[in-house]
Amino acid sequence: MKLIVGNLKMNLLSTAERDRYFESFKKELKDSKVGNVQIVLCVPSIHLESFTKKIKSKSVEIGSQNIFWEEKGSYTGEISAPMVASLGAQYSIIGHSERRRYFGETSAQANMKIKVALKNKLTPIYCVGETKEEKENGDAAQVIIQQISEAFAGISSTQASKIVIAYEPVWSVGSDIVPSSDEILEIKILLKKIFVELYGLPVAEKISVLYGGSVKSELINQVCIEPGMDGVLVGRESLVPRDFFKIVKIINKN
- Positions that interact with ligand PEP (CB under 6 A): 7, 9, 168, 173-174, 212-215, 233-236
Q: Pick between residue 82 and residue 174 the one whose CB is nearest to ligand PEP.
A: 174
Q: Pick between residue 71 and residue 243 the one whose CB is nearest to ligand PEP.
A: 243
Q: Pick between residue 9 and residue 192 the one whose CB is nearest to ligand PEP.
A: 9
Listed in sequence order, the residues at least 6 apart from 36 whose beta carbon sits closer than 8 Å to its beta carbon are 1, 2, 251, 252
Closest approach, Cβ 97 to ligand PEP, in A, equals: 7
Q: Pick between residue 42 and residue 85 the one whose CB is nearest to ligand PEP.
A: 42
Q: Are 68 and 113 in contact, with CB atoms under 8 Å apart?
A: yes
Q: Are 122 and 92 in contact, with CB atoms under 8 Å apart?
A: yes
Closest approach, Cβ 220 to ligand PEP, in A, equals: 13
Q: Are 143 and 187 in contact, with CB atoms under 8 Å apart?
A: no
Residue 57: DSSP 8-state: B
State CA 152 to chain mean position distance: 16
Closest approach, Cβ 202 to ligand PEP, in A, equals: 29
If you write DSSP's letter for every residue of 65-121 in order, what string do you get?
S--BSSSSSS-TT--BHHHHHHTT--EEEES-HHHHHHH---HHHHHHHHHHHHHTT
Write out the catalytic residue numbers. 96, 168
Closest approach, Cβ 58 to ligand PEP, in A, equals: 24
